[in-house]
Amino acid sequence: MLRFGLFDLDDTLYAAQSGLWTAIGDRIDRYLVEKVGLPADGVREQRRAWFEEYGTTLNGLRAERHVDSADYLAFVHDLPLDDYLQPNPALDAMLARLPVEKVIFTNADAPHALRVLDRLGVGRHFQAVFDIQALAFVNKPEPRAYQFVLDHLGAAGPECFFVDDAPRNLQPARMLGMHTILISPAPVSARLARVDAVIDNILGLEAVVTQSGKLTPAVLPPAAGLS
Ligand SMILES: [Mg+2]
């Protein structure tokens, strides 16, 4: 039976079309040019290389350039969230109906996560934020990150679902027995993506976790006009 819901943050709780994650990426590029001194035309390639080898640009910077992680995290997340995100009452209502303990599991940092949750108006639903600091920079898709979260929750993998927009982040969760849900605005086969379900936005979550038979849907009040 599902008891816990683990949620990625960026491009999962809000849609990629918001442009926020792209804007964060642009700030990462700026950081690499302005603060680290990389040539602008080599930044994207370097980020890709660090992403492959270390999981995040930050871990590449920590390993090879010894940057101050707090300085980096503050710089890349220094954006006016209100320009990108709107309160999401439908998400708030859906989360209220899901009878599981909910936590954020993100490679970003908690101050950013809390600002996003606040802007979306859904912070009240989440009992914990497992962020890059809490994970001691051992981040997704490193299997130890997932085990850390399970241990902290006192949960077994099959008691959890995990929703993320990155297929590679879902594979370690699957190996631990979690119910895996991929967010993909483009059509993707769940079988090919090696996940249990694919949804095109977070509001589709309720249907797939209840249809899985592992979660009893909350009883909804009668629709207005029918009572
Ligand atoms: Mg994401």
User: Residue 199's pLDDT is what?
Assistant: 96
Q: Give the whole-angstrom CA distance, residue 5 versus residue 23.
A: 27
| pLDDT class of 226 with cuts at 50, 70, 90 | very low
* Residue 216 pLDDT level (bands cut at 50, 70, 90): low
Distance from Cα 107 to the centre of ligand 1, integer Å: 8
Summarize pLDDT for 58-71 with one digit per residue, the tens.
999 999 999 999 99
Compute the distance from residue 218 Cα to the ligand 1 centre, in Å.
27
> Which of 71-75, 108-112, 116-120, 208-212 comes out lowest in average pLDDT?
208-212
Q: To 10 degrees, the CA torsion angle through 22, 24, 30, 32?
A: -110
Ligand 1 centroid to residue 13 C-alpha, Å = 8
pLDDT in tens, 18-38: 999 999 999 999 999 999 999
Note whether 127 and 102 are within 8 A (CB).
yes
Angle between helices 43-54 and 20-34 (to 10 degrees): 110
Alpha carbon of 154 to ligand 1 centroid (Å): 24
pTM of the predicted protein model: 0.91
Stated as kind and residue range, the H or E segment containing 105 is: strand 101-105
CA of 165 to the centre of ligand 1 (A): 5
pLDDT tens-digit readout, 129-138:
999 999 999 9
Span 151-162, pLDDT tens digits: 999 999 999 999
CA distance 199 to 183: 5
CA–centroid distance, residue 223 to ligand 1 (Å): 34
In angstroms, rounded to a whole number, what is the distance separating the alpha carbons of residues 168 and 126? 24
Average pLDDT value over all residues in the chain = 93
Q: Which of the four pLDDT bands, split at 50, 70 and 90, describes residue 227? A: very low
Q: Residues 117-121: what's their mean pLDDT?
A: 98
Binned at pLDDT 50, 70 and 90, residue 73 comes out as: very high
Where are the strands (E) in 112-227, listed by range? 126-130, 160-164, 179-183, 197-199
Residue 178 has pLDDT above 50, yes or no: yes
- Tell me, in angstroms, the distance from the centre of ligand 1 to residue 153's CA: 21
Distance 53 CA to ligand 1 centre (A): 18
Residue type, 20: L
All domains of the chain in start order, with CATH: 4-14+86-211 (3.40.50.1000), 20-76 (1.10.150.450)
Direct distance between the N- and C-terminal alpha carbons of the chain, in angstroms, rounded to an integer: 32
Cα(212) to ligand 1 centroid in Å equals 23
